[in-house]
A = this chain, B = another copy of it.
Amino acid sequence: MQSQRFSSLGRPAILAAVTMAGVLGTGTVATAQALKDVQTADTPLVLKAQGSFFVGGEKAEQTQVETGGLGPGGHITVNQMYVRYMVPQAGAGNVPVVMVHGATLTGKSWETTPDGRMGWDEYFVRKGHPVYVPDQVGRGRSGFNQAVSNDVRAGSVPPASLPNWLRFSDEVVWPNFRFGSKRDAPYADSQFPLGAIDELSKQGVPDLTYGGGVPNPNPTFKALSDLAAQLNGAVLMGHSQGGPYPLAAALLNPAAAKGLVLVEPGRCPADYTDEQIKTLARIPILAVFGDHRDTPTGISTRPSWQLSFEGCQQLIDRLKAAGGQAEMLDPSARGIKGNSHMIMQDRNHLQIADLILKWIDEHVGTRAVKKQ
């Protein structure tokens, strides 16, 4: 492990396109070098508490075949949401921040970056906020409901009953996460640590959210809302697929949502009723988007991220017209160039984090007691 001086200053974009193409051309076998690249902060992390727990979940009765055949069937739990947390010793009473990940990913998104720098989870804790990182229902340590797969395997239901599992290939990730126009063709100013892109690839897990594998409405909405209530109020932050989840959770229990941060949301709903807008207008809301939004994603359902940006701008306009404190954070308009869709892992990720922390301080109103 290396020593790390964590500052909020973005480092210059030292990796030019030509260099990167060379680095990435050396092979497609993923390295096993991640641990040696992990950096250590100069000062200890002092926690009042850390650990994990679940929110929600319900019992389902399943057959022996559905539970995999080793012993009798019976009751299992489904639709629970795993949550890992850290509470700083200084600032334990500050407003908690819940960080929800995006499609084909898990809570790992917010932890140590692919190139071994401190994740936003720890950075927000060091800035005095208790941080709660879930895995969405159906993903990672939250598990999923395997019954239909075992039924299909046994031949009792047709193959079309299977959920569709989504994963992004590297070829999809490059243009869709806006690292470059295509695989191994990075933008010259990209802030993503492209030398560690194989480590990002390892963060990918199968996602059944769009494929009929999670109940509708997604139980993650209610779980986030319940988590915020159990915390006596929280800032709900979501990324990408999870970007609009804070809105959905807030509508279930507006009093528990102290602020919403939508990080590169895949979409901002355009069909809210005036009543829903009135409710959301009582909650401070920030949307954050990176750079290179006009470039083609290669995905037909969302040809460019500029469309997501514009949809969120329209929601912000509606909220402001209803008296809300809603705001767009577009670092590229402030001269901060090259941020990707994985903005929380970009090389200048602490610079972006500081902008969000400042917004939380100013709009949610609970300052960090002590900056560590």
Contact = CB atoms under 8 A, between A and B. Distances in A.
Given A54-B202, A69-B164, A70-B301, 18 more contacts: A30-B56, A32-B57, A37-B53, A44-B46, A45-B46, A51-B122, A53-B116, A57-B198, A62-B169, A67-B172, A70-B172, A71-B168, A75-B170, A76-B168, A76-B169, A143-B206, A146-B165, A153-B160
A149 to B, nearest CB: 6
Number of copies of this chain that the complex holds: 2
Interface residues of A, number: 103
Interface stretch (A104-112, A255-263, A336-344, A355-363): A104-112
A171 B29 contact: no
Contacts of A26: none
Contacts of A59: 28-30, 170, 201
Interface of A: 1, 28-30, 32, 34-38, 40-41, 44-59, 62, 67-77, 80, 82-84, 86-87, 89, 106-108, 111-112, 116, 118-119, 122, 135, 140-144, 146, 149-150, 152-155, 159-160, 162-172, 176, 183, 198-199, 201-207, 210-211, 226-227, 230-231, 297-299, 301
A127 to B, nearest CB: 16
B210 A70 contact: yes
A245 to B, nearest CB: 18
A47 B49 contact: no
A51 B120 CA distance: 11
A354 to B, nearest CB: 20
B47 A112 contact: no
A147 to B, nearest CB: 9
A46 B46 contact: yes
Contacts of A297: 71
B118 A176 contact: no
Nearest to A73: B169
A190 to B, nearest CB: 19
A165 B112 CA distance: 30
A236 B338 CA distance: 42
